[in-house]
Amino acid sequence: MQIHRFENGSYIIAERLKLGHNVQVGPHTSIRATECVIGDDVTIGAHNTFLVGQRLEIGALTTIGNHNSLTARTIALGEYVFWDSHVTVGHGGKFSPDAHLTVGSYSMICARITLNTNHRIDIGEYVGIGEDVAVWTHGSFLPILEGFPADFGPVSIGHHVWLPARTTVLPNRRIGNNVVIGTNSLINKDLPDGCLAGGIPVKILRENVYPSEDPARNAKLVGQVLHDYAELAAYKDLQANLAYDEAKQTIRCNEVVFDLATMRAQGTFTRTEEDFRDYLRRRGIKFYTGKPFTSVLPEEYRHLLYPPNELL
């Protein structure tokens, strides 16, 4: 067993440890795993606890917030995962042989989520899970010998899924690919690919609707995005020269070209272009460049955040 200590007192205890470049860990965080692999440019906040019986893997450019508690046999997070704060992995039955969690690349785990790993939970790529969501792999309390219900089993969530705030997923459920679910829904049955669903209990509202292609719709949407960002840039005192070439499917922000066909960006980024890239991200238009997403704080807020000793 080896221990890696950070200057702020946080530590990793593992039999096998591989740390990438520029791994940042906040204070009061402990990571314990038989095998621990953390990729480049990973940021982990403060007051986090990891207890992983076998293997913990965190992909490059993943960000984890504060006050999270994660317990499972294996945990695998892909690249560019955004994981917020006050998330619990574990809860009832967490010390089971099937306690495994995978979260695919480019996914978002918002605050105050419960991921109950009595059985395995598999979450695909490009999945957004909103605040106060609970995913359960066990459900029981009253005696089954008196006819009361109980359910145990894994949960699978496909790729390109939006599971919004205050939704609950019950055990033994599968959500397909390209699915959107309404807020505050109860998922008590499987959901097929491409559907819009919602309600308590969940109902399929529309089938085979995602993804869809509509060039005329998209042109209007891009135009609205550029109009809205121009207003935001002015508020932030940023100089953003914006243009959309519908034929080439490219957006230009100053000297950076964002290609909507290839989802690649070319050019030299300043804080303005990074702010625009982050604005596109908020509309689900995500350009991954090997750097974290960043936005510019408006001056009316920024000037209030100077340390007191710098104001004397």
Residues 147 and 281 occupy one common structural domain: no
- Over residues 12-45, the pLDDT tens digits come to 999 999 999 999 999 999 999 999 999 999 999 9
194 plus 229 within the same structural domain: no
**Residue 165 to residues 65, 129, 180, 182, 206, Cα–Cα distance (Å):** 18, 7, 12, 9, 20
Domain region containing 105: 2-206
Say if 311 falls within a structural domain: no
Domain membership flag for residue 310 = no
**Each residue of 273-290: pLDDT tens digit?**
999 999 999 999 999 999
| Average pLDDT for the chain | 96
Whether 306 maps to a domain, the answer reads: no
Are 25 and 160 members of one domain?
yes
Mean pLDDT score, 47-68: 98
Whether 187 and 219 map to the same domain: the answer is: no
Q: 55 and 176: one domain?
A: yes
Q: 138 and 61, same structural domain? A: yes
Query: Each residue of 129-182: pLDDT tens digit?
Result: 999 999 999 999 999 999 999 999 999 999 999 999 999 999 999 999 999 999
pTM for this entry? 0.93
Q: 151 and 226: one domain?
A: no
Does 286 reside within a domain? Answer: yes
Please give the Cα distance from 248 to 277 (Å, whole number).
19
Say whether both 51 and 118 belong to one domain.
yes
Calculate ∠ Cα 29-33-36, nearest 5°: 90
User: How many distinct structural domains can be found in the chain?
Assistant: 2
In this structure, how many other beta carbons lie within 10 angstroms of the beta carbon of residue 290? 10
Last residue of a domain, one of 172, 206, 240: 206
pLDDT, average across residues 35-57: 98
* 6 lies in the same domain as 151: yes
The CATH number for 187's domain is 2.160.10.10
Q: What is the pLDDT of residue 308?
A: 72
Q: Is there a single domain that holds both residue 183 and residue 265?
A: no
174-199 pLDDT, tens digit per residue, is 999 999 999 999 999 999 999 999 99
Question: Is 307 inside a domain boundary?
Answer: no
175 plus 108 within the same structural domain: yes
Specify if 246 maps to a domain. Answer: yes
Contacts of 62 (CB under 8 A, 6+ apart): 39, 42, 43, 77, 78, 79, 80, 81, 82, 83
**255 occurs within a structural domain:** yes
pLDDT single digits (tens) 70-127? 999 999 999 999 999 999 999 989 999 999 999 999 999 999 999 999 999 999 999 9
pLDDT band for 47, please (50, 70, 90 cuts).
very high
307 confidence band (pLDDT: 50, 70, 90):
confident
Question: Which of 184, 206, 228 represents a domain boundary (last residue)?
Answer: 206
90: its two tokens: 């574990």
- pLDDT of 311 reads 56
Angle at 291 between CA 289 and CA 295, to 5 degrees: 105
Mean pLDDT of 225-247: 98
Residue at which a domain ends, from 206, 236, 270: 206
129 lies in the same domain as 47:
yes
Identify whether 308 is part of a domain. no
